[in-house]
Structure 1
């Protein structure tokens, strides 16, 4: 169960969600990160995902990345909140920022436990991506609030170890991404 572009009602030709997303039922397929997007650059705005229970999460999907951001696109006013994942699972997020990001929030999300740490599957990713001319994607107001793993609240002090969050240092250093 992953909340991604398909759940937001997006297709290759659409830029806006087709409907609000509340109380999303878990899928029976193998999950990937709880929040995952960035396979195509697009404008996304005014999305709320609220109240998700992921049951018996497990992880086993290989991933690839792309490195071309479209700086004319923006992901803005998107909130994922009140999400609970039971069982041993993957990670919080795998976001390939192929567009600028404004006011994205991940709130009140809990995971029971990470998968084996030796595989790297537990590690969340939010790298700094660039446009074709080398200009970095603009990020502002990206907030992770109330995230916990195994009952341990993740904050600015323990985000990398206990939270498995790998976030571009530049974004953390200047407050573009905040963990509270």
Structure 2
């Protein structure tokens, strides 16, 4: 399996304009062939967009994870821009997370290796980091304060989020 020739790939999903918004032609759609940055606009609908983003940009990462590499999916945007929908989706329109988990289980079933995955899920909101594996109503009963989790640097200058949950998904 070839490793990608890039360390960071940026994919921009642009939600369709709402009825009360004025169209803006400053964002154009480009082909993703050989491009590091892909701006997606005006696909047939949410389902097609969810599937295209998964197939083109997330599925290849799963291949690299099975090759021993780490992968991060980072959704960024203003409130209401579609980050949660892109990541979680809905029952009839699954997002990145359910599609990725399904693919991991499918690939594991076909593999003879013992595989262990560690998964974290966080939100950065107003310069605070929140662990999304901890329900908000339990924040007072956990290591996560209402102000969020602290960002730290270890002795090797690696940046990490202190006390961020890592959920282990083990296959044997």
Interval containing the TM-score (normalised by the shorter chain)? 0.3 to 0.5
Identify the structure with the greater strand proportion.
1
Identify the structure with the greater helix proportion.
2
In our comparison, the structure showing a higher alpha carbon Rg is 2
- Structure 2 length as normaliser, TM-score? 0.35
Which one scores higher on RCO, CA 8 angstroms, separation ≥ 6? 1
